[in-house]
Structure 1
């Protein structure tokens, strides 16, 4: 009996010695890994099926898909610019988020103010223009896609008149509006664009009303720089054509959509969160376009002939290769709609000039208000 007990004791000791390394290894595997990066996103409008906010939400989802348990994301939607934005951004910083993305031009100053209070937090001011030690800025060259969309609109319009529903007369919007006009006139010298300013980014009823007004004034092709798909729906209802912005909107306007100008944020957002995780985040300033994969046109509607599709895609390749610049004059100067020369023959605007653009190009019927 004692012999058996001793044998059992030796066996237990041997078993313990044998399994100890395995148990230790398993414990090591189970030990908490580096905590995930907490990333937050603030959206200026509700998340809808398409539009400005949808594209940034797609970017957030891309971060989760790429980084898995290395990141934990959250978002707050429908946050007005101004005091509400400052309150929400501050609250997210207080909750321990290490990086906060604020994708709206009107979030620029609230972001900078909160960033000064939380120097350990990284902020990404999307469409902003002011950096700080812990504030990066990034934007896309939307105007490149607008120029390409203008080519398609110029080919498709029968009235030679396009309508443009615009949010605010800030440089980013003016860049897109002017590039659209230049794209149209590159294939249709008779083309003109009528613009309606809303002084709002997201107001579907007013967006729709503006679209209806423009179509009543002879526009048979519409474009817009606002946050919803209301303009697309209006064009579909009236049997007109429209250029989708931010997202593919064929679900809303299956017959009306000419093409979509889309912006892609997933790769950028993922890289920035990864930089925080790896401790090498810097307050960079990026302005990416077709070449960088941040802007693309495509998602053509059924009414667009293959020849037009091929032409637009060929020009997109030229743009990616640097052979096509929307704000470069040919043999003739580019003039504003007051008759003043704004680009000399053979010259191109610098990035600084584009970023501070404050005029409407010849052919645009409207003013900066």
Structure 2
């Protein structure tokens, strides 16, 4: 009993002391701890996080390689003001694209570039859920308050390649290894053919569709098929270097697409339609950094430095180079537009009247083959 009572008394004393301490804290709040001096890292602005979504592997040639070259140009220009990242081999299926793009937004990226047509609907959907993130979609046609659309006039490079092909083809039979039958690709096939027929009215173009952007095996098979049909100059609208490699093996000519592909076929490679995405990426990152970014549609061409036919083969004749320079000048200054009527489709129907010049709305809606292209556009 004595021990229990002592314990009770001790407990009461402890509770009383605690009560007094509590009252003291309430009446006389403790002084706040001095704030830590800000570090250099804390005072510096956090880098803008910029992400890129690629449909194929980065590799060392082609469409995705060209985009990643643009990404690296952003890093070189802006240094520690930005932090870039990319995800490659993202399918165009809505579920896959949305999952990746949504995760990038969730992870804190504030500027996201989706680099293929098939990402359009997924980007629209994710953009609605992340209004504070800026989205950029390549080659599409839909925009939103925080989703812009951008593209390069690849048909200009295709046309110039056609001019060279028309001059150098001995058979007059040209071929295109084509990816997916959307207006962008059909427009390139048509422009290539118009370029060739501007110097050889009898030139024709055969097309083999592989229905994928990147599939070296199918691209090789398509190129081989075209060569078997007598084609001696190849163009492609696919992403690997397989067409140039096949041309080298079979002893015909080819053009690099989206980037210089000389190393894959030095003898076959006549020139390359080269995209310079850094023109756009640097401008848009700068706009995001300085708060002037706005949605809209941008289509860069030769005039803006977004595309060019370059990486000429050393054996390309001087007169062909001179002709290409002349055609480039006409495209840039507007004196010789590529899509100027009269233009007919390959059934003989007039699609552009004499002296009429196609506007961008017309060009974005091209779903027909022009005169000189064999076959029918896939349904």
- The TM-score normalised by the length of structure 1 is 0.90
Do residues 320 (structure 1) and 329 (structure 2) align? no
Q: Distance in 1 between matches of 2:214 and 2:170?
A: 29
Residue in structure 2 matched with residue 363 of structure 1 by the alignment? 372
Q: Distance in 2 between matches of 1:229 and 1:113?
A: 34
The Cα offsets for residues 187-238 of structure 1, whole Å up to 9 and x where unpaired, read as: 0001000001111111110000000000000100000101111101000110
Residue in structure 2 matched with residue 15 of structure 1 by the alignment? none
- The structure 2 residue matched to 1:69, chosen from 80, 89, 100, is 80
RMSD: 1.3
Residue in structure 2 matched with residue 349 of structure 1 by the alignment? 358
Residue in structure 2 matched with residue 272 of structure 1 by the alignment? 284
| Structure 1 residue ranges, 4+ long, deviating more than 6 angstroms after superposition | none
Partner SS for 1:365: coil
Which structure has the bigger radius of gyration? 2
Unmatched 5+ residue regions in structure 2? 1-36
Partner SS for 1:47: coil
Q: Distance in 1 between matches of 2:215 and 2:40?
A: 52
Partner SS for 2:262: coil
Question: 5 Å matches for 1:78-93?
Answer: 78-82=89-93, 83-93=95-105
Q: Distance in 2 between matches of 1:339 and 1:303?
A: 37
The Cα offsets for residues 252-275 of structure 1, whole Å up to 9 and x where unpaired, read as: 010101110011111211111121
Question: 5 Å matches for 1:204-223?
Answer: 204-223=216-235
- The structure 2 residue matched to 1:123, chosen from 114, 123, 135, is 135
Q: Do the aligned partners of 2:279 and 2:305 also contact (CA within 8 Å) in 1?
A: no
Q: Distance in 1 between matches of 2:186 and 2:315?
A: 28
Residue in structure 2 matched with residue 12 of structure 1 by the alignment? none
Structure 1 stretch 317-326 or stretch 66-75: which is displaced more?
Answer: 317-326
Structure 1 stretch 149-158 or stretch 264-273: which is displaced more?
Answer: 264-273
Question: 5 Å matches for 1:36-47?
Answer: 36-47=47-58
Deviation of 1:30 after TM superposition, in Å, equals 6.2
Partner SS for 1:297: strand
The Cα offsets for residues 129-171 of structure 1, whole Å up to 9 and x where unpaired, read as: 1000100000011111111111000001000000101011111
Unmatched 5+ residue regions in structure 1? 1-25
Residue in structure 2 matched with residue 340 of structure 1 by the alignment? 349
- The TM-score normalised by the length of structure 2 is 0.88
